[in-house]
């Protein structure tokens, strides 16, 4: 990169080299994983990408490497369609799996059902969300099988399910085991359903399970995955992974039409390639998961109770107002989580959560 | 930012501090302004923003400053709704100005009419583009007045215009003068039309006109402006500027529903604030404009002919195949531009175009 | 009407004058009220309307009388927007009451939720159905109040209810009493909701309640009613009744855009005016209700059990296979109704159900 | 039909049997063919259909005969999807031929482009109308070939044509000859386009050409035809004729979702079967065409000038204000037609236009 403005040299250097560990308090904001900054490797990749010109709209070198990189990661040929937000990845990713007359079965608490406005119907040309229940925000294969089996199509009149969507890791921080995803995939095949996986926190699930990414995706019957990176160290990118190459054309058109095609596409690619490099995605996720477990122990010894055993990077805690206030006074930031209970709170750890400080909480919290 | 991975320190420093002027050829890729890297000031802002946690979805400090910053820039109270792409800024920005039964009058060559798929109808709930002609991709107030005056509404049956959209700087690199925008605004008011301005290259127009941004926007009757930054040094951000605060609610809902609300919203805000800081937006644009003029002179002395006098950073050139090949052999990259003619080409300059090298072309091109 | 083809004279006369009571078996098809023919008064009106030319698209004399006729019926100023189907009346009628980002609260079993494909989202630009439970397909005001009170808006992220839709008479043939509609209207006002009434069988409810139509509509807070006639003697017409005149423009545009504006609009108007004439609508409904009660008594003495006391023209019956077969052998046609139970069936009576034959069933069924 | 209200007997008989030729002035309303009443044969069919119960939603006997009846008419296997309006036939018929990202090429003056609100984009999920020019509202195969050949797809960015739509008889009353339709069909196949025919006045074209219906539809490459009956003697019905059976499912779902599926479907079927019976459709159309020619001769001898030679039932006339007033004073009703010129008017004849009275106009007009 031509530094045509040399006076910036020292300013930029300062940003990267200052010893912040000493001068700044550790990040104790557990309100979400999207409050985190970009992790250094990805920031470096963005900076490195700013060295020269590059073709736009995905024609640049980095973007051209995506299919191969993810194909290698998943052990099968995939198409990658990157977008900047998780919501876009879900909406655009789902749009190729359902007709304007069809339904998408999901858990009541699914992000696509609760927190994406009317986006699914918007991108789906009218497609309807059919919410079902399940413990800990997970869809159980048996319940799904019953639900799909009981549905009687009323020809043109009814909205018939065409697709099932599950979130891995779920909105309650729980993880589908390999066998659980396989069971759901089997039920989908039995009933002729497509299968979509909202993987905003996919990395955390793989880190927990220690499985191959293929085991909980295409090998289990997943057709499309939104492979999240924004919550796990990136600036803003989520990759739609198409396990069925026939979906590429429609997905790319849907992306463009929705306004999600980046002209400086290389910056999405650079983030993703750095994310995959040397398993950064897994390292970041493992760290976040470990931090959640450490936080669980610390909070439990302070008198709190975990609503679910954290399987990913999210921790749902029950505690009384007093303890909540003590934690806040100690500088922790976290949100109440009413959908679990009036005394429930959510803590989300991330790639930069300070495990040592977290472990020391029982001693430091007043 | 806590550098928890100190081994990166030197790698990152290298990216920013290496003397690239000596070791790398200057950027001669004029195929578009979206091939450019991020300019240093904005890259620095992104890096600086990576220092700590921040609230998501626009609740962070930087995002909270946007309304004030842009209100000051425009000299009136505005609402800012940032998105990551120019297409999203147009589609979401327009969606609040037209009903699902209405029409948007634009130039045939408008980006929204030629290069945004069916996005306008998508976000507009069916709204229809009504393309009209005009010289050099500009809508003439008189022609617009006639067009709107001649339109006879057929009640529920017809698609009646509700909004007019103009591009500043136009798709042919021409600029509407202050009086021209005022004239269009006047016609819009006369016929009860809303007025939208696609400002992907708004900066270049202001740089050319030397006017106050207000003069060619709200003071002239513009209701919504997409204030582009991506083509002018940013990574990826365009700000929808609402001059009518009543549009905020609908625009924010449309943005979210379209999947364009960034969780790490601070990164959009950081780019925008750096973009406004010390008039960086204007300096970048002026440089690009100057480079375009320098390029025009160089190419003309080599035997080419400008189709239009460049008023912004785009140059449309007519030349024979021989000269085109000589330029390519000299390392210039540029696109043919069939909509102007079979022997026409487009050259787009940007914030980092090397004016000295450009000026030397008559001597360096073989 | 000019009979330019006199050879048809006798053929047509035959259709109307033949003594069918003697030569044809009485109608025992209780599968739905939409299996019925047009009642004579309305058929006569259609024939009478075929006398001369008339302006199209609602400009004819008959259509011009609609607003006044319905305003008189409801005792307040209303706008009438006729369409040909009940589904169209619901979809177009609802489209003005909800934004593309909002939700419509309805009962799980509502026709708009179960039997109108993805039409609500289609016409509503994405609007989402939010189904709740209630006994006998009725929404209880208390449950609705709790549901609306518990909903926490998540700003741009969530789908917030904007409208409540109830069906009168419900899909299970039950009727909301005047006080019940009032209670729902009150809850809607409390929470700022619009209120829509699917009145495919509105006539049957009024016949049962013996109230003034205003009592269970605008006086109770209903904003829009689909006033059904197709199931109660018409050929095909349902009138969207707008109690808020400000909705006219949008509703008419939505109707036209959906393809529901009849050019020979007079035929919709003729049906509706005949339907209101001398309270034909109430007489037909009363007859259908009486037939349902007669059928209930007959079936109960044959050993069946009513799932609900019929309050309108629909009867939901529980009986064993043997009785069901005996009824079929006797010429009755009716449908199983799985949503109530495996041994449940629905019988729908109409304006032409032969009460004497129905009452004689205990003697005639083998 | 059981006449349970015998007092109506005489009233109904009167409607059909009174000698109106003597007592009522002949219809001289030429403002449109949709001002006409139902022709007797179809009214009789509606009445005859009101004899007994019948299954709904197309399961009745009459509806079950439609495919066979139209297959015989067209000489090939077709699927019939009836709806009540021409607009619905166009919108639902087109919806299966274009993707949400594609374009439909049509003439600028096409009804779908001028008079169907934003319906095409609505039912087409965003699909865009691409209007082109041609003499007398006809698309010329050569111009179409050039237009499609010149279009350069810009991948995901552009709206690429996917379908061509022509109107037969056109909006200017002109008719495509068999060879002309064949030529357009050939161009469509060459460029991979689907071909839709808006046949609101299809009957008039066949009557003029004296060809087999197959010659100007499927044999020439038409994929879907909206076979109009409303303007030619029916109450309200247009049949979507699918020449590609694979389109059935989508078209039926689109119809239902749009609210266009009649529950008393038999009444649509009864109209259509009567319309085909003994070539009623052709007789009505021939009469209308003949009346138009008679009217042309009469008006020309009164000093008017035909803008186009009438090829169907529509006549576009140029005349001065004086003659226009004389005609109005004589009881003729007709509309100015600005799209042709300031002194232009449209006269539309129909199945019941009094040719004798029309021929006598030169003597009767003051």
| Class of residue B99 by CB neighbours under 10 A (exposed 0-12, middle 13-18, buried 19+) | middle
Cα D88 to Cα C85: distance, rounded to the nearest angstrom: 13
Written as six digits, the tokens of C206 are 């009024």
Residue tagged 């909701």 (tokens): C193
For the stretch C220-231, pLDDT in tens is 999 999 999 999
For the stretch B123-164, pLDDT in tens is 999 999 999 999 999 999 999 999 999 998 998 999 999 999
Cα B136 to Cα B108: distance, rounded to the nearest angstrom: 11
Which chains touch D (3+ CB pairs under 8 A)? A, B, C
Cα A129 to Cα A165: distance, rounded to the nearest angstrom: 10
Domain-ending residue, one of A279, A309, A344:
A279
Rounded (5°) CA angle C365-D1-D6: 105
A328 and A211 part of one domain: no
C292 and C265 part of one domain: no
DSSP 8-state secondary structure symbol assigned to residue B167: E
**Domain tally, chain B:** 2
Q: Which ranges in B31-76 belong to alpha helices (H)?
A: 40-48, 61-64, 66-74
Which residues are paired to A318 by β-bridges?
A: A305, A344
A162 and A24 part of one domain: no
CATH number at residue C217: 3.40.640.10
Whole-angstrom CA distances from B256 to A115, B62, B122, B311, D140 are: 10, 19, 15, 36, 45
Nearest alpha carbon to residue A136 among A178, A183, A165, A171? A171
- Please tell me whether residue D115 adopts helix, strand or coil conformation: coil
Q: Which long-range contacts (CB under 8 A, 24 or more apart) does C146-151 make?
A: C147/C105, C148/C105, C148/C187, C148/C190, C148/C191, C148/C193, C149/C191
Residue B157, chain C, CB below 8 Å: the answer is: yes
Nearest alpha carbon to residue D208 among D42, D90, D349? D349
B246 and B343 part of one domain: no
Residue D187 counted as domain residue: yes
Residue B237 counted as domain residue: yes
Q: For the CA atoms of A322, A323, A328, A334, what is the dihedral angle to 10 degrees?
A: -120
Cα A173 to Cα A157: distance, rounded to the nearest angstrom: 37
- Residue B201's contacts (CB-CB under 8 Å, 6 or more residues apart) are B33, B168, B169, B228, B231, B232, B285, B312, B313, B314
- Quote the minimal CA–CA distance from B256 to chain C in Å: 6
Which residues are paired to A172 by β-bridges?
A: none
A115 and A232 part of one domain: yes
DSSP 8-state secondary structure symbol assigned to residue D156: T
**pLDDT score recorded for residue D133:** 96
- Quote the minimal CA–CA distance from D106 to chain C in Å: 18
| Average pLDDT of the residues of chain D | 92
Written as six digits, the tokens of C246 are 């400000």
For the stretch A204-249, pLDDT in tens is 999 999 999 999 999 999 999 999 999 999 999 999 999 999 999 9
Cα B204 to Cα B53: distance, rounded to the nearest angstrom: 35
* Cross-chain CB nearest to A101 (options C115, C118, C126): C118
For the stretch D125-155, pLDDT in tens is 999 999 999 999 999 999 999 999 999 899 8
Structural domain for C228, as ranges: 44-279
Taken in order D56, D124, D195, A98, the sign of the CA dihedral is negative
**Cβ–Cβ below 8 Å for B16 and A12:** yes
Residue B124 counted as domain residue: yes
CATH number at residue C322: 3.90.1150.10
Cα A30 to Cα A28: distance, rounded to the nearest angstrom: 6
Please report residues of B whose CB lies closer than 8 A to that of D115: 154, 157-158
Residue C1 counted as domain residue: no
pLDDT tens per residue across all 366 residues of chain A: 333 354 444 444 443 333 333 334 566 999 999 989 999 999 999 999 877 788 899 999 999 999 999 999 999 999 999 999 999 999 999 999 999 999 999 999 999 999 999 999 999 999 999 999 999 999 999 999 999 999 999 989 999 999 999 999 999 999 999 999 999 999 999 999 999 999 999 999 999 999 999 999 999 999 999 999 999 999 999 999 999 999 999 999 999 999 999 999 999 999 999 999 999 999 999 999 999 999 999 999 999 999 988 899 999 999 999 999 999 999 999 999 988 899 999 999 999 999 999 999 999 987
| Average pLDDT of the residues of chain B | 92
| Class of residue D117 by CB neighbours under 10 A (exposed 0-12, middle 13-18, buried 19+) | buried
Residue B82, chain A, CB below 8 Å: the answer is: no
Task: Tell me the average pLDDT across C101-105.
Answer: 97
DSSP 8-state secondary structure symbol assigned to residue C118: T
ipTM summary value: 0.91
Helix (H) or strand (E) holding C306: strand C305-306
Domain-ending residue, one of B279, B306, B330:
B279
**pLDDT score recorded for residue C25:** 54
Nearest alpha carbon to residue B197 among B128, B106, B116? B106
Q: What are phi and psi of C223, to 5 degrees?
A: -90, -40
- Residue A265's contacts (CB-CB under 8 Å, 6 or more residues apart) are A56, A57, A58, A59, A60, A63, A82
C72 and C219 part of one domain: yes
Taken in order B238, B239, B242, B245, the sign of the CA dihedral is positive
Q: For the CA atoms of A274, A277, A279, A284, what is the dihedral angle to 10 degrees?
A: -20
Which chains touch B (3+ CB pairs under 8 A)? A, C, D
Taken in order B353, B358, B359, B360, the sign of the CA dihedral is positive
DSSP 8-state secondary structure symbol assigned to residue B18: S
Residue D23, chain C, CB below 8 Å: the answer is: no
Q: What is the pTM of this model?
A: 0.92
| Average pLDDT of the residues of chain C | 92
Q: Which ranges in chain D belong to alpha helices (H)?
A: 8-17, 20-23, 40-48, 61-64, 66-74, 86-95, 111-114, 119-123, 141-150, 178-191, 202-209, 248-257, 266-276, 280-301, 321-329, 355-359, 361-364
Residue A1 counted as domain residue: no
Half-sphere exposure for A8 (CA within 13 Å, toward CB) = 19
Cα C33 to Cα C86: distance, rounded to the nearest angstrom: 13
Instruction: Assess whether pLDDT exceeds 50 at residue D16.
Output: no
Residue A104 counted as domain residue: yes
Cα A75 to Cα B63: distance, rounded to the nearest angstrom: 41
D128 and D216 part of one domain: yes
Taken in order B230, B232, B234, B235, the sign of the CA dihedral is positive
Instruction: Assess whether pLDDT exceeds 50 at residue B14.
Output: no
CB contact at 8 A, D224 and D27? no
A211 and A235 part of one domain: yes
For C332-355, b where at least 16 C-beta lie within 10 A, e where not — what string?
A: bbbeebeebeebbbbbbbbbbbbb
CB contact at 8 A, A96 and A165? no
| Class of residue C301 by CB neighbours under 10 A (exposed 0-12, middle 13-18, buried 19+) | exposed
Cα B355 to Cα B350: distance, rounded to the nearest angstrom: 10
Residue B1 counted as domain residue: no
B78 and B133 part of one domain: yes
**Cβ–Cβ below 8 Å for C2 and D50:** no
C182 and C293 part of one domain: no
- Quote the minimal CA–CA distance from D155 to chain B in Å: 9
Domain-ending residue, one of A224, A244, A279:
A279
Nearest alpha carbon to residue C115 among C137, C93, C135, C86? C86
Nearest alpha carbon to residue D164 among D122, D214, D102? D102
> Taking the CB of residue D255, how many other CB atoms lie within 10 A of it?
26
C112 and C255 part of one domain: yes
For the stretch A34-53, pLDDT in tens is 989 999 999 999 999 877 78
**pLDDT score recorded for residue D269:** 97
C93 and C223 part of one domain: yes
Residue B252, chain C, CB below 8 Å: the answer is: yes
> Taking the CB of residue A149, how many other CB atoms lie within 10 A of it?
11
CB contact at 8 A, C29 and C333? yes
> Which conformational region is residue A75 in: left (phi greater than 0), alpha (psi within -120 to 50 degrees), or beta?
left
Q: What are phi and psi of B144, to 5 degrees?
A: -65, -45
For D7-30, b where at least 16 C-beta lie within 10 A, e where not — what string?
A: ebeeebbebbeeebeeeeebbbbb
- Quote the minimal CA–CA distance from B349 to chain D in Å: 22
**pLDDT score recorded for residue C26:** 63
DSSP B25-38: PPP-B-S-GGGS--
Q: For the CA atoms of D83, D87, D89, D95, what is the dihedral angle to 10 degrees?
A: -130
Residue B151 counted as domain residue: yes
For the stretch C266-293, pLDDT in tens is 999 999 999 999 999 999 999 999 999 9
Q: Based on DSSP, count helices (H) and strands (E) in chain A, helices before strands.
A: 17, 11
* Cross-chain CB nearest to C117 (options A115, A117, A156): A156
Of D36, D93, D259, which to mutate for an interface test with C (greatest number of C Cβ within 10 Å)? D259
Nearest alpha carbon to residue D96 among D230, D246, D226? D246
Written as six digits, the tokens of D351 are 């199945």
Residue C265, chain B, CB below 8 Å: the answer is: no
- Residue A278's contacts (CB-CB under 8 Å, 6 or more residues apart) are none
Instruction: Assess whether pLDDT exceeds 50 at residue B49.
Output: yes
Which residues are paired to D238 by β-bridges?
A: D83, D228
Please report residues of D whose CB lies closer than 8 A to that of B200: none
Cα D250 to Cα D258: distance, rounded to the nearest angstrom: 12
**What is the number of residues in chain D?**
366
**pLDDT score recorded for residue D26:** 63
**Cβ–Cβ below 8 Å for D118 and B121:** yes
> Taking the CB of residue B89, how many other CB atoms lie within 10 A of it?
31
């Amino acid at each position: 990169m031509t530094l045509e403005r040399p006076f910036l040299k020292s300013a930029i250097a300062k940003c990267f080299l200052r010893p912040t560990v000493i001068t700044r308090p550790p990040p104790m904001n557990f309100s979400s994983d999207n409050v985190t900054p970009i992790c250094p490797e990805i920031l470096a990749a963005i900076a490195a990408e700013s060295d020269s010109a590059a073709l736009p709209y995905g024609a640049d070198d980095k973007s051209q490497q995506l299919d191969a990189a993810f194909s290698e990661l998943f052990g099968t040929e995939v198409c990658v369609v990157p977008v900047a937000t998780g919501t876009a990845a879900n909406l655009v990713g789902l749009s190729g799996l359902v007709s304007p007359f069809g339904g998408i079965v999901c858990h009541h608490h699914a992000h696509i059902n609760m927190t994406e406005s009317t986006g699914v119907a918007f991108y789906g040309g009218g497609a309807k969300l059919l919410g079902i229940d399940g413990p800990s925000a997970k869809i159980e294969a048996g319940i799904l099988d019953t639900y799909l089996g009981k549905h009687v199509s009323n020809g043109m009149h009814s909205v018939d399910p065409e697709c099932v969507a599950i979130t891995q890791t779920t909105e309650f921080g729980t993880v589908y085991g390999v066998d659980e995803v396989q069971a759901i995939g089997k039920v989908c095949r039995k009933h002729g359903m497509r299968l979509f996986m909202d993987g905003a926190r996919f990395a955390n699930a793989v880190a927990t399970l220690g499985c191959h990414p293929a085991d909980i995706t295409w090998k289990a019957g997943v057709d499309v995955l939104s492979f999240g990176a924004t919550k796990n160290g990136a600036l803003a990118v989520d990759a739609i992974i198409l396990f069925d190459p026939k979906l590429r054309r429609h997905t790319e058109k849907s992306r463009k039409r929705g306004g999600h095609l980046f002209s400086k596409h290389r910056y999405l690619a650079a983030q993703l390639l750095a994310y995959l490099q040397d398993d950064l995605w897994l390292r970041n996720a493992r760290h976040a998961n470990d931090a959640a477990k450490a936080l669980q122990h610390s909070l439990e010894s302070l008198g709190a109770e975990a609503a679910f055993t954290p399987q990913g990077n999210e921790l749902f805690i029950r505690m009384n107002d007093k303890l909540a206030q003590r934690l806040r006074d100690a500088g922790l930031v976290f949100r109440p989580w009413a959908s679990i209970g009036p005394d429930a709170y959510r803590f989300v750890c991330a790639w930069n959560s300070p495990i040592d400080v977290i472990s020391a909480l029982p001693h430091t919290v007043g």
